[in-house]
Amino acid sequence: MVSRQGRVPPRPLGSDVRATVVDGAVAVVLAYLAVDAMLDPPGPAFTGPVWVAWLTGAAVGLPLAVRRRWPLPVLGWVAVAAATATALGVVGIGVIPVTYAPVALALYTAATVAGPVVATVALAGSLAAPAATIPWLYRTAGIGTADAYGSEVPLWWQVELGVTAVVVTTAWATGRLVRWRRTVQADLARQLARDAVANERLRIARELHDIVGHSMSLIAVRATVANHIAEQRPAETRAALVTIERTSRAALTEIRRLLDVLRADSDDSGADLGPSPGTADLSELADRLRSAGLRVELRLDGADDLPQAVDLTVFRIVQESLTNVMKHANADHCQVTVRARDGGVRIQVLDDGRGPRPAGRRSAGQGLIGMRERVTMYGGTLATGPRPEGGFQVVADIPYVAAEETV
Name the residue with higher pLDDT: 323 or 255.
323
Return left, alpha or beta for 385; rule: phi > 0 is left, psi -120 to 50 is alpha, else beta. Answer: left
What local confidence, expressed as pLDDT, does residue 271 receive?
Answer: 45
Alpha-carbon span 5 to 319, nearest angstrom: 21
Q: 257 pLDDT exceeds 60?
A: no
User: Exposed, middle or buried: residue 113 (CB in 10 Å: 0-12, 13-18, 19+)?
Assistant: middle
Paired residues of 296 in beta bridges: 334
Of the ranges 63-72, 197-206, 232-241, the best mean pLDDT one? 63-72
Query: Is the CB of residue 90 less than 8 Å from the CB of residue 46?
Result: yes
What local confidence, expressed as pLDDT, does residue 338 receive?
Answer: 93
Query: Is the CB of residue 343 less than 8 Å from the CB of residue 401?
Result: yes
Helix (H) / strand (E) element for 104: namely helix 96-113
What percentage of the chain carries pLDDT values higher than 70? 70
What local confidence, expressed as pLDDT, does residue 293 receive?
Answer: 72
Name the residue with higher pLDDT: 205 or 384.
384
User: What are the CA-CA distances from residue 100 to residues 72, 93, 163, 328, 370 (Å)?
Assistant: 16, 12, 10, 46, 50
> pLDDT for 123-142, tens place per residue?
999 999 999 998 888 888 77
Name the residue with higher pLDDT: 327 or 26.
26
In the structure, what pLDDT confidence band is assigned to residue 355 with cuts at 50, 70 and 90?
low
Q: What is the DSSP letter of 331?
A: -
Query: Is the CB of residue 167 less than 8 Å from the CB of residue 100?
Result: yes
Average pLDDT of the residues of the chain: 77
**Edge to edge, what strands does the sheet with 344-351 contain?**
295-301, 333-341, 344-351, 392-399, 381-386
Identify how many contiguous H helices and E strands the chain contains and give both numbers: 12, 5
What local confidence, expressed as pLDDT, does residue 212 receive?
Answer: 66
What are the helix (H) ranges across 263-400?
Answer: 282-291, 308-324, 357-363, 365-377
pTM beyond 0.75, yes or no: no
As a dihedral over the C-alpha atoms of residue 222, residue 228, residue 231, residue 236, rounded to 10 degrees, the angle is: 50
**Dihedrals phi, psi of 397, to nearest 5 degrees:** -120, 125
- Mean local confidence (pLDDT), 360-375: 65
What local confidence, expressed as pLDDT, does residue 172 receive?
Answer: 93
Report the interhelical angle of 308-324 vs 365-377 (nearest 10°). Answer: 160
Name the residue with higher pLDDT: 276 or 169.
169
In the structure, what pLDDT confidence band is assigned to residue 233 with cuts at 50, 70 and 90?
low
Of the ranges 72-76, 199-203, 213-217, the best mean pLDDT one? 72-76
Ranges 92-101, 151-160, 239-248, 251-260: which has the least confidence: 251-260
What local confidence, expressed as pLDDT, does residue 2 receive?
Answer: 38
CA–chain centroid gap for 143, Å, is 55
What local confidence, expressed as pLDDT, does residue 349 receive?
Answer: 92
What percentage of the chain carries pLDDT values higher than 90? 22
In the structure, what pLDDT confidence band is assigned to residue 192 with cuts at 50, 70 and 90?
confident
What local confidence, expressed as pLDDT, does residue 145 receive?
Answer: 56
- Mean local confidence (pLDDT), 378-384: 87
Alpha-carbon span 23 to 67, nearest angstrom: 8
Residues with Cβ within 8 Å of 271's Cβ and at least 6 positions away in sequence, in order, are none
As a dihedral over the C-alpha atoms of residue 231, residue 236, residue 242, residue 245, rounded to 10 degrees, the angle is: -110
Q: 321 pLDDT exceeds 50?
A: yes
Q: 175 pLDDT exceeds 60?
A: yes
In the structure, what pLDDT confidence band is assigned to residue 242 with cuts at 50, 70 and 90?
low
Q: 9 pLDDT exceeds 50?
A: no
Q: 347 pLDDT exceeds 90?
A: yes
Q: 344 pLDDT exceeds 80?
A: yes
What local confidence, expressed as pLDDT, does residue 73 receive?
Answer: 93
Q: 44 pLDDT exceeds 90?
A: no
Alpha-carbon span 349 to 69, nearest angstrom: 38
Name the residue with higher pLDDT: 248 or 369.
369
Q: 264 pLDDT exceeds 60?
A: no
User: What are the CA-CA distances from residue 276 to residues 58, 312, 316 (Å)?
Assistant: 69, 7, 11
Q: What is the DSSP letter of 274?
A: S
Domain range 279-406, CATH class: alpha beta
What local confidence, expressed as pLDDT, does residue 108 receive?
Answer: 93
Query: Is the CB of residue 176 less than 8 Å from the CB of residue 111?
Result: yes
> pLDDT for 55-89, tens place per residue?
988 999 899 889 888 999 999 999 999 999 988 88
Q: 280 pLDDT exceeds 70?
A: yes
Paired residues of 398 in beta bridges: 345
Taking the domains of the chain in order of start, what are their residue ranges?
15-190, 201-273, 279-406
Alpha-carbon span 245 to 242, nearest angstrom: 5
Q: What is the DSSP letter of 9?
A: P
